[in-house]
Amino acid sequence: MPDIAWVPHDAVRERSRLLAALRRWGFAGVEDLNRRAIADPEWFWREVVEDLGVEFTAPFTRVLDESEGKPFPRWFPGGRINVAELAAHRHAGSEKLAVVYEGDSGHRRTLTFTELDEQVRRFAANLATLGVSRGDRVVLFMPVVPEAVVAFLAIAMLGAVSVPAFSGYAADALATRLQDSEAVALITADGTTRRGKEIGLKATADAAVADAPSVRAVVVLRHLGIDVPMSAGRDVYYDELDTDPTPVETAATESNDPLTIVYTSGTTGRPKGIVHSHGGFAVKTATDFAYGFDVHADDVVCWITDLGWLVGPMLITGPLQLGATIVMIEGLPTHPTADRLWDVIECNGVTVQGIAPTAARALRSADERPARALSTLRSFVSTGEAWDEPTWWWLFDQVGKRRIPIVNYSGGTEVGGGILVGYPFLPAAPAAFTGPLPGVDAVVLDDDGKPVVDAIGELAVRNTFPGMTHAFWQDRERYLDAYWARFDGVWVHGDLASVDEDGSWLIHGRSDDTLKLAGRRVGPAEIEAALLKDGRIAEVAVIGAPDERRGQRAVAFVVLRHEDVDLDDLRAAALANAGKSFAPAVYVVKTLPKTKNGKIMRRAIRSRFTGAPVGDLSSLDPATPLEDIPVLADED
């Protein structure tokens, strides 16, 4: 096992919800529990539902029905459950804060659980008046304001299906999602802000709706208070809706009825509409937040996310059903001040803070460490991409003072949450995971589909669990081809991973980003981590490029902390740190292209550099243009 960095103290173990459950169920550890959970899902998921208070208004007949085949399970069939009931209705009467919004401009707004319930019921009734009914799709093109939470839950209350869309989409990308989902309504805002700059949303929405004839109604939130054109008979302002509409009942949705469709982009083809249901998504998010992150009702969970990324719906569904408070941040962790994130944590008494490695690198690059002790914070939760160890150590050692665990978490939109986690009550190596989430039969496979230890291979799942997508929206064959076609009866996730004999896991990046160097399969994260040992480098992205002699060579694009760097010395350091077999060609660039939530777009970088089609760039942050990457043909 690698050297241990995090050693849990007694308070962490005593508070743990999962350790308490293990004692009640009579298991010595997580591995013993998971063996039973995988072998007997009927027993395990019934226990989870009871332990975490996932309430069904009508009982399910069984836990798992695989009559349509393993890739298409039905979870908790016959049960009646609605996410609006779990996250809002059952907490009515509580004056505890449910939702906190921290704006890019410093503006802060809140909703108590009572206010959340009242607003969800009112907005659901207004949506019904606008013609939205059970099964209809409603697109959310909004910033992460309290009304976004209200809208998501109101749509669920009606039994309609939300389609959260990334707030940075251009009109074409938004229109594609409106068309593919055949949405009947769109909920948007006049605009949002990023780095203090106003970004219009309504104009984008109008252009998209012009190409989406299924949309009959557009609800507009006055978020910035700017003038926007309104289409008579179609558009209505959120604040001008009926304040006392005729109430509607909460739909008695069946466990497998769709709750939300979260679209993910690929390099080619139309976006994939990932379908999640009321029962599966509710149970999965409750499991991950309660057992993986140890969230209780007294917690305050903060995340920098967008409604269009899976973490947005997860943040609404998971902590709120557990009775915890959520804090949503609009914008960046370093704007308007470099210490904004630490201020938000202190101001709101945040106990669990979600952070991506990219955000941590931005803070580290600014050498931004909290001036205060972050006294309420119990853990960081990290997701989105693989860590480089220098940044992980900076966050753990210099920010957290080795008392705050970094709960490493990896999964994806398609599985409704996580596959692997670093349990806070277990010792952990830097940037590592300590095991699969409960009920997940994760494994690392070689090219022949055989399990391997101490070697990099494909991260795969040999069973199914609640929260895995019910397929792509209206496209089952494409779903089967994407995840089930490579090995019989095995879900291949698309990540490179490794696990050692002691059960310590690492993620090495996306498998389609893999490099084959010196006869060895290497993830880009491994080379990137080596290069980041050089303190002159702030960020780096490594790709594989064709090479006539060797087949493939590594190419690194680096962003420097300072301009006055000797390039020959920089390349010599890269050679020394990465080793001769893996040393990349080094290009210095101003920025690395990223999505708005901070993921480096390596496939787009590779396509740009090699002159291949770059595919869908709808999620590209315009502040990080792809044009900063050189084109190989121009170098010749």
pLDDT digit string, tens, across residues 36-45: 999 999 999 9
In angstroms, the CA 285 to CA 304 distance is 17
pLDDT over 60 (residue 199): yes
Tell me which residue of 253, 189, 217, 535 sits closest to 391, measured CA to CA: 535
Of 547 and 405, the structure prediction assigns the larger pLDDT to 405
Average pLDDT for 84-103: 97
pLDDT digits (tens, 9 = 90+) for 593-634: 987 667 788 888 988 998 888 877 777 888 888 998 999 866
- One-letter amino acid identity for 413? T
pLDDT digits (tens, 9 = 90+) for 429-476: 999 999 999 999 999 999 999 999 999 899 999 999 999 999 999 999
Q: Look at 9-23, 317-331, 410-424, 530-544 and tell me which has the smallest mean pLDDT.
A: 530-544
- One-letter amino acid identity for 465? F
Q: Given pLDDT bands bounded at 50, 70 and 90, which one contains residue 1?
A: low
Of 421 and 515, the structure prediction assigns the larger pLDDT to 421
User: Would you call 594 helix, strand, or coil by DSSP?
Assistant: strand
Residue 266 pLDDT: 53
- One-letter amino acid identity for 460? A
Query: Which backbone phi and psi does 498 adopt, to 5 degrees?
Result: -145, 155
Residue 257 pLDDT: 98
Tell me which residue of 251, 245, 175 sits closest to 215, measured CA to CA: 175
Task: Identify the bridge partners of residue 540 per DSSP, sorted by sequence position.
Answer: 558
Q: What is the number of other CB atoms lying within 10 angstroms of the CB of residue 102?
A: 23
In angstroms, the CA 170 to CA 618 distance is 7
Q: Given pLDDT bands bounded at 50, 70 and 90, which one contains residue 268?
A: very low
In angstroms, the CA 469 to CA 473 distance is 10
**Percent over 70 (pLDDT), the chain:** 97
pTM for this prediction: 0.88
Residue 586 pLDDT: 93
User: Would you call 203 helix, strand, or coil by DSSP?
Assistant: helix
- CA 9 vs. chain centroid, Å, equals 28
pLDDT over 60 (residue 267): no
In angstroms, the CA 91 to CA 94 distance is 6
pLDDT digits (tens, 9 = 90+) for 315-360: 999 999 999 999 999 988 888 888 899 999 999 999 999 998 888 9
Helices in 476-515 by DSSP H: which ranges?
476-483
What is the per-residue burial (b if ≥16 Cβ within 10 Å, else e) of 43-81? ebbebbbebbebebeeebeebbbeeeeebbbbbbbebbb
Query: Which backbone phi and psi does 272 adopt, to 5 degrees?
Result: -95, 120
Q: Which CATH number fits domain 88-324: 3.40.50.12780, 3.40.50.1100, 2.40.50.140, 3.40.50.300?
A: 3.40.50.12780
Average pLDDT for 197-213: 95
Q: Given pLDDT bands bounded at 50, 70 and 90, which one contains residue 506?
A: very high
pLDDT digits (tens, 9 = 90+) for 103-126: 987 889 999 999 999 999 999 999
> To 5 degrees, how large is the angle CA 623–CA 625–CA 627?
155
- In this structure, is the dihedral angle defined by the CA atoms of residues 423, 5, 570 and 517, taken in order, positive or negative? negative
Q: Given pLDDT bands bounded at 50, 70 and 90, which one contains residue 5?
A: very high
514-635 folds as: GMP Synthetase; Chain A, domain 3 (3.30.300)
Tell me which residue of 312, 127, 330, 124 sits closest to 219, measured CA to CA: 127
Query: What is the residue extent of each domain of the chain?
Result: 88-324, 514-635
Residue 260 · residue 276 · CB < 8 Å: yes
Peptide bond into 622 cis (omega under 30): no
In angstroms, the CA 473 to CA 262 distance is 9
pLDDT digits (tens, 9 = 90+) for 361-383: 888 887 777 877 899 999 999 98
What is the number of helices (H) and of strands (E) in the chain?
Answer: 19, 29
Q: What is the number of other CB atoms lying within 10 angstroms of the CB of residue 287?
A: 28
pLDDT over 50 (residue 69): yes
Tell me which residue of 175, 411, 190, 164 sits closest to 307, measured CA to CA: 164
Q: Look at 62-76, 86-100, 190-204 and tell me which has the smallest mean pLDDT.
A: 190-204
Residue 381 pLDDT: 98
pLDDT over 60 (residue 635): no
In angstroms, the CA 365 to CA 355 distance is 15
Q: What is the mean pLDDT of the chain?
A: 92
In angstroms, the CA 315 to CA 53 distance is 17
